[in-house]
Amino acid sequence: MKKVNPIAKDDQFIDSFLRPAAFKDYIGQEKIKKGLEIILKAAKKRNESIDHLLFYGQPGLGKTTLATLVAKETGANLKIISAPSLSRAGDLAAILTNLEDRDILFIDEAHRLNPAIEEIFYSAMDSGKISVIVGKGPSGRIISLDLPPLTLIDATTRVNLVSSQLRSRFGAIFRLDYYANDDIKMIIERSAGILKVKINPEAILTIAKASRFTPRLANRLLKRSRDIAEVNDLKIIKKETVLEVFDMFGIDEMGLELHDRKMLETIIEKFRGRPVGINALAAALGEEKDAIEEIYEPYLLKIGFIQRTPSGRIATDDARKWLAL
Protein backbone atom coordinates (compact mmCIF):
# COMPACT_ATOMS: atom_id res chain seq x y z
CA MET A 1 0.00 0.00 0.00
CA LYS A 2 1.28 3.49 -0.90
CA LYS A 3 2.54 5.80 1.81
CA VAL A 4 0.64 9.02 2.34
CA ASN A 5 1.91 12.36 3.59
CA PRO A 6 0.04 12.94 6.88
CA ILE A 7 0.01 16.71 6.41
CA ALA A 8 -2.27 18.09 3.69
CA LYS A 9 -1.30 21.44 2.17
CA ASP A 10 -4.81 22.83 2.46
CA ASP A 11 -5.46 21.63 6.01
CA GLN A 12 -5.89 25.13 7.42
CA PHE A 13 -8.43 26.01 4.74
CA ILE A 14 -10.27 22.73 5.25
CA ASP A 15 -10.44 23.27 9.02
CA SER A 16 -12.12 26.65 8.52
CA PHE A 17 -14.39 25.12 5.89
CA LEU A 18 -15.54 22.42 8.33
CA ARG A 19 -16.46 24.92 11.02
CA PRO A 20 -20.19 25.57 11.36
CA ALA A 21 -21.36 28.76 9.67
CA ALA A 22 -24.27 29.33 12.05
CA PHE A 23 -25.48 28.19 15.47
CA LYS A 24 -27.98 25.84 13.79
CA ASP A 25 -25.01 23.94 12.29
CA TYR A 26 -23.11 23.75 15.58
CA ILE A 27 -23.48 20.27 17.06
CA GLY A 28 -23.30 19.80 20.84
CA GLN A 29 -22.84 22.24 23.77
CA GLU A 30 -26.61 22.82 23.82
CA LYS A 31 -26.73 24.78 27.09
CA ILE A 32 -24.04 27.16 25.90
CA LYS A 33 -25.77 27.73 22.57
CA LYS A 34 -29.05 28.47 24.32
CA GLY A 35 -27.38 30.92 26.69
CA LEU A 36 -25.57 32.70 23.87
CA GLU A 37 -28.68 32.94 21.73
CA ILE A 38 -30.55 34.67 24.59
CA ILE A 39 -27.67 37.10 25.16
CA LEU A 40 -27.45 37.90 21.44
CA LYS A 41 -31.19 38.38 20.98
CA ALA A 42 -31.44 40.62 24.05
CA ALA A 43 -28.51 42.79 22.90
CA LYS A 44 -30.02 43.08 19.42
CA LYS A 45 -33.40 44.06 20.86
CA ARG A 46 -31.76 46.79 22.95
CA ASN A 47 -29.49 47.80 20.05
CA GLU A 48 -26.42 47.34 22.23
CA SER A 49 -23.09 45.59 21.87
CA ILE A 50 -23.09 42.20 23.59
CA ASP A 51 -21.59 41.74 27.02
CA HIS A 52 -18.06 40.49 27.55
CA LEU A 53 -17.78 36.68 27.46
CA LEU A 54 -15.36 34.07 28.81
CA PHE A 55 -15.13 30.56 27.32
CA TYR A 56 -13.05 27.88 29.03
CA GLY A 57 -12.39 24.21 28.44
CA GLN A 58 -9.91 21.78 26.92
CA PRO A 59 -8.26 22.54 23.55
CA GLY A 60 -10.27 21.66 20.45
CA LEU A 61 -13.74 21.94 21.98
CA GLY A 62 -14.88 24.96 19.96
CA LYS A 63 -14.04 28.13 21.88
CA THR A 64 -12.76 29.96 18.80
CA THR A 65 -15.65 28.62 16.73
CA LEU A 66 -18.19 30.01 19.20
CA ALA A 67 -16.50 33.42 19.13
CA THR A 68 -16.63 33.34 15.33
CA LEU A 69 -20.33 32.49 15.38
CA VAL A 70 -21.06 35.29 17.86
CA ALA A 71 -19.36 37.73 15.46
CA LYS A 72 -21.33 36.38 12.49
CA GLU A 73 -24.64 36.56 14.32
CA THR A 74 -24.03 40.18 15.33
CA GLY A 75 -22.45 41.26 12.05
CA ALA A 76 -19.36 42.39 13.96
CA ASN A 77 -15.72 42.31 12.91
CA LEU A 78 -13.68 39.75 14.84
CA LYS A 79 -10.04 40.32 15.72
CA ILE A 80 -8.20 37.31 17.14
CA ILE A 81 -5.08 37.71 19.29
CA SER A 82 -3.08 35.30 21.44
CA ALA A 83 -2.47 36.64 24.95
CA PRO A 84 1.31 35.97 24.97
CA SER A 85 1.68 38.23 21.91
CA LEU A 86 0.47 41.22 23.96
CA SER A 87 3.73 42.17 25.64
CA ARG A 88 3.59 45.98 25.57
CA ALA A 89 0.90 48.38 26.71
CA GLY A 90 1.39 50.49 23.59
CA ASP A 91 0.60 47.52 21.34
CA LEU A 92 -2.67 46.87 23.15
CA ALA A 93 -3.61 50.56 23.12
CA ALA A 94 -3.07 50.63 19.35
CA ILE A 95 -5.28 47.57 18.89
CA LEU A 96 -8.08 48.87 21.08
CA THR A 97 -8.15 52.37 19.60
CA ASN A 98 -8.29 50.96 16.06
CA LEU A 99 -11.37 48.85 16.73
CA GLU A 100 -14.61 50.00 15.19
CA ASP A 101 -18.03 50.34 16.77
CA ARG A 102 -19.17 47.00 18.31
CA ASP A 103 -16.16 45.04 17.09
CA ILE A 104 -15.25 41.87 18.96
CA LEU A 105 -11.74 41.29 20.30
CA PHE A 106 -11.01 37.61 20.94
CA ILE A 107 -8.11 36.85 23.30
CA ASP A 108 -6.91 33.25 23.24
CA GLU A 109 -4.90 31.76 26.13
CA ALA A 110 -6.25 34.48 28.42
CA HIS A 111 -4.61 32.86 31.46
CA ARG A 112 -1.25 33.92 30.00
CA LEU A 113 -2.03 37.64 29.94
CA ASN A 114 0.73 39.86 31.30
CA PRO A 115 -0.63 41.44 34.55
CA ALA A 116 0.24 44.96 33.33
CA ILE A 117 -1.64 44.31 30.07
CA GLU A 118 -4.57 42.80 31.97
CA GLU A 119 -5.01 45.97 34.01
CA ILE A 120 -5.56 47.98 30.82
CA PHE A 121 -8.48 45.72 30.00
CA TYR A 122 -10.15 46.57 33.32
CA SER A 123 -10.91 50.16 32.38
CA ALA A 124 -11.68 49.18 28.78
CA MET A 125 -14.29 46.69 30.00
CA ASP A 126 -15.68 48.87 32.80
CA SER A 127 -15.86 52.33 31.27
CA GLY A 128 -14.88 52.04 27.62
CA LYS A 129 -11.75 54.13 28.26
CA ILE A 130 -8.04 53.48 28.52
CA SER A 131 -5.24 55.62 29.93
CA VAL A 132 -1.94 55.90 28.10
CA ILE A 133 1.30 57.67 29.00
CA VAL A 134 2.51 60.19 26.44
CA GLY A 135 6.14 61.23 26.70
CA LYS A 136 8.88 60.13 29.09
CA GLY A 137 10.29 61.33 32.36
CA PRO A 138 9.01 64.47 34.13
CA SER A 139 7.37 65.73 30.94
CA GLY A 140 5.30 62.57 30.51
CA ARG A 141 1.57 62.83 31.02
CA ILE A 142 -1.39 60.48 31.19
CA ILE A 143 -4.22 60.96 28.74
CA SER A 144 -7.57 59.17 28.66
CA LEU A 145 -8.82 57.77 25.37
CA ASP A 146 -12.43 56.88 24.64
CA LEU A 147 -13.01 53.52 22.96
CA PRO A 148 -15.90 52.60 20.68
CA PRO A 149 -18.42 50.13 22.17
CA LEU A 150 -16.73 46.75 21.94
CA THR A 151 -17.00 43.19 23.20
CA LEU A 152 -14.13 41.26 24.70
CA ILE A 153 -14.28 37.46 24.39
CA ASP A 154 -11.57 35.56 26.26
CA ALA A 155 -10.77 31.87 25.93
CA THR A 156 -8.66 29.74 28.22
CA THR A 157 -7.84 26.15 29.07
CA ARG A 158 -6.91 27.12 32.64
CA VAL A 159 -9.72 29.25 34.09
CA ASN A 160 -8.24 28.86 37.57
CA LEU A 161 -5.25 30.91 36.40
CA VAL A 162 -7.41 33.80 35.18
CA SER A 163 -7.40 36.43 37.91
CA SER A 164 -10.57 36.99 39.90
CA GLN A 165 -10.43 40.69 38.94
CA LEU A 166 -10.67 39.80 35.26
CA ARG A 167 -13.21 36.98 35.69
CA SER A 168 -15.58 39.27 37.60
CA ARG A 169 -15.82 41.64 34.63
CA PHE A 170 -17.36 39.13 32.22
CA GLY A 171 -21.10 39.25 31.72
CA ALA A 172 -21.23 35.48 31.17
CA ILE A 173 -18.80 32.61 31.68
CA PHE A 174 -19.27 29.36 29.76
CA ARG A 175 -17.53 26.04 30.37
CA LEU A 176 -17.18 23.81 27.30
CA ASP A 177 -17.43 20.13 28.24
CA TYR A 178 -16.17 17.12 26.35
CA TYR A 179 -18.67 16.16 23.63
CA ALA A 180 -21.05 13.22 23.87
CA ASN A 181 -20.09 10.29 21.66
CA ASP A 182 -23.30 10.67 19.62
CA ASP A 183 -22.46 14.34 18.97
CA ILE A 184 -18.97 13.39 17.78
CA LYS A 185 -20.46 10.84 15.38
CA MET A 186 -22.81 13.50 13.99
CA ILE A 187 -19.86 15.89 13.55
CA ILE A 188 -17.92 13.21 11.63
CA GLU A 189 -20.95 12.53 9.40
CA ARG A 190 -21.39 16.26 8.74
CA SER A 191 -17.68 16.74 7.95
CA ALA A 192 -17.64 13.69 5.67
CA GLY A 193 -20.55 15.20 3.76
CA ILE A 194 -18.74 18.53 3.36
CA LEU A 195 -15.55 16.75 2.24
CA LYS A 196 -17.65 14.59 -0.13
CA VAL A 197 -16.20 11.31 1.15
CA LYS A 198 -18.08 8.11 1.92
CA ILE A 199 -17.50 6.49 5.29
CA ASN A 200 -19.23 3.47 6.76
CA PRO A 201 -20.80 3.39 10.26
CA GLU A 202 -18.07 1.18 11.73
CA ALA A 203 -15.39 3.65 10.62
CA ILE A 204 -17.36 6.56 12.08
CA LEU A 205 -17.63 4.72 15.39
CA THR A 206 -13.91 3.92 15.38
CA ILE A 207 -12.95 7.57 14.82
CA ALA A 208 -15.45 8.77 17.43
CA LYS A 209 -14.11 6.37 20.05
CA ALA A 210 -10.54 7.61 19.50
CA SER A 211 -11.42 11.30 19.19
CA ARG A 212 -10.99 12.05 22.90
CA PHE A 213 -14.53 13.51 22.73
CA THR A 214 -13.04 16.42 20.77
CA PRO A 215 -14.32 17.67 17.37
CA ARG A 216 -10.90 18.95 16.27
CA LEU A 217 -9.29 15.53 16.70
CA ALA A 218 -12.27 13.74 15.12
CA ASN A 219 -11.97 15.92 12.02
CA ARG A 220 -8.20 15.43 11.91
CA LEU A 221 -8.58 11.64 11.94
CA LEU A 222 -11.28 11.86 9.26
CA LYS A 223 -9.05 14.00 7.00
CA ARG A 224 -6.12 11.61 7.33
CA SER A 225 -8.44 8.67 6.60
CA ARG A 226 -9.59 10.53 3.51
CA ASP A 227 -5.93 10.93 2.45
CA ILE A 228 -5.33 7.19 2.64
CA ALA A 229 -8.59 6.39 0.83
CA GLU A 230 -7.80 8.81 -2.01
CA VAL A 231 -4.18 7.70 -2.45
CA ASN A 232 -5.26 4.06 -2.61
CA ASP A 233 -8.35 4.66 -4.77
CA LEU A 234 -10.75 3.44 -2.08
CA LYS A 235 -14.37 4.40 -2.72
CA ILE A 236 -15.33 4.31 0.96
CA ILE A 237 -13.53 4.77 4.26
CA LYS A 238 -13.73 1.59 6.31
CA LYS A 239 -12.50 0.69 9.78
CA GLU A 240 -9.31 -0.77 8.30
CA THR A 241 -8.51 2.61 6.74
CA VAL A 242 -8.97 4.37 10.07
CA LEU A 243 -6.79 1.82 11.86
CA GLU A 244 -4.02 2.53 9.36
CA VAL A 245 -4.22 6.19 10.39
CA PHE A 246 -3.98 5.16 14.04
CA ASP A 247 -0.87 3.12 13.27
CA MET A 248 0.65 6.04 11.34
CA PHE A 249 0.27 8.39 14.30
CA GLY A 250 0.80 5.95 17.18
CA ILE A 251 -2.79 6.16 18.41
CA ASP A 252 -4.75 3.23 19.84
CA GLU A 253 -8.50 2.64 19.58
CA MET A 254 -9.14 4.52 22.83
CA GLY A 255 -7.35 7.56 21.46
CA LEU A 256 -4.34 7.04 23.74
CA GLU A 257 -1.08 8.42 22.37
CA LEU A 258 2.47 7.53 23.33
CA HIS A 259 2.63 10.09 26.14
CA ASP A 260 -0.65 8.81 27.63
CA ARG A 261 0.57 5.23 27.68
CA LYS A 262 3.94 6.29 29.08
CA MET A 263 2.22 8.15 31.92
CA LEU A 264 0.04 5.17 32.81
CA GLU A 265 2.92 2.71 32.57
CA THR A 266 5.06 4.95 34.79
CA ILE A 267 2.38 5.05 37.50
CA ILE A 268 1.78 1.29 37.30
CA GLU A 269 5.34 0.01 36.90
CA LYS A 270 7.78 2.61 38.25
CA PHE A 271 5.60 3.54 41.23
CA ARG A 272 4.12 0.02 41.49
CA GLY A 273 0.56 1.32 41.38
CA ARG A 274 0.95 3.43 44.51
CA PRO A 275 -0.41 7.00 44.56
CA VAL A 276 2.08 9.40 43.02
CA GLY A 277 2.23 13.17 43.50
CA ILE A 278 2.22 15.49 40.51
CA ASN A 279 5.79 16.70 41.08
CA ALA A 280 7.19 13.18 41.32
CA LEU A 281 5.22 12.15 38.23
CA ALA A 282 6.46 15.16 36.25
CA ALA A 283 10.07 14.38 37.23
CA ALA A 284 9.70 10.72 36.26
CA LEU A 285 8.20 11.61 32.87
CA GLY A 286 10.53 14.51 32.16
CA GLU A 287 7.47 16.71 31.58
CA GLU A 288 6.31 20.03 32.94
CA LYS A 289 3.68 19.77 35.66
CA ASP A 290 1.38 22.08 33.69
CA ALA A 291 1.61 19.83 30.62
CA ILE A 292 0.43 16.84 32.65
CA GLU A 293 -2.45 18.75 34.23
CA GLU A 294 -3.53 20.56 31.05
CA ILE A 295 -2.89 18.07 28.24
CA TYR A 296 -2.60 14.47 29.43
CA GLU A 297 -4.58 14.14 32.62
CA PRO A 298 -8.07 15.48 31.72
CA TYR A 299 -8.79 12.80 29.13
CA LEU A 300 -7.40 9.98 31.28
CA LEU A 301 -9.65 11.16 34.11
CA LYS A 302 -12.62 11.37 31.75
CA ILE A 303 -12.29 7.75 30.58
CA GLY A 304 -11.59 6.49 34.10
CA PHE A 305 -7.99 5.39 33.53
CA ILE A 306 -6.60 7.45 36.41
CA GLN A 307 -8.00 8.80 39.65
CA ARG A 308 -6.92 11.63 41.88
CA THR A 309 -6.68 10.76 45.55
CA PRO A 310 -5.51 12.82 48.55
CA SER A 311 -2.19 10.96 48.28
CA GLY A 312 -1.73 11.41 44.51
CA ARG A 313 -2.64 9.91 41.14
CA ILE A 314 -3.38 6.22 40.72
CA ALA A 315 -4.02 4.10 37.63
CA THR A 316 -7.32 2.20 37.67
CA ASP A 317 -8.02 -1.45 36.92
CA ASP A 318 -9.53 -0.36 33.58
CA ALA A 319 -6.19 1.20 32.62
CA ARG A 320 -4.33 -1.96 33.60
CA LYS A 321 -6.69 -4.12 31.54
CA TRP A 322 -6.42 -1.87 28.47
CA LEU A 323 -2.61 -1.83 28.62
CA ALA A 324 -2.52 -5.51 29.61
CA LEU A 325 -0.34 -4.71 32.62
Catalytic residues: 63-64, 108, 157, 216
3-state secondary structure of 156: strand
Contacts of 312 (CB under 8 A, 6+ apart): 274, 275, 276, 277, 278, 280, 281
Residue whose C-alpha is closest to residue 204's, from 188, 181, 223: 188
Phi/psi zone of residue 55: left (φ > 0), alpha (ψ -120 to 50 degrees), beta?
beta
DSSP state of 279: H
- E strands along 66-128, which residues? 78-82, 104-108
| Nearest of 314, 298, 6, 267 to residue 158 by alpha carbon | 298
Helices (H) and strands (E) in the chain, counts: 15, 9
Question: 103-137: buried (b, 16+ CB within 10 Å) or exposed (e) per residue?
Answer: bbbbbbbbbbbeeebbbbbeebbeeeebebeeeee
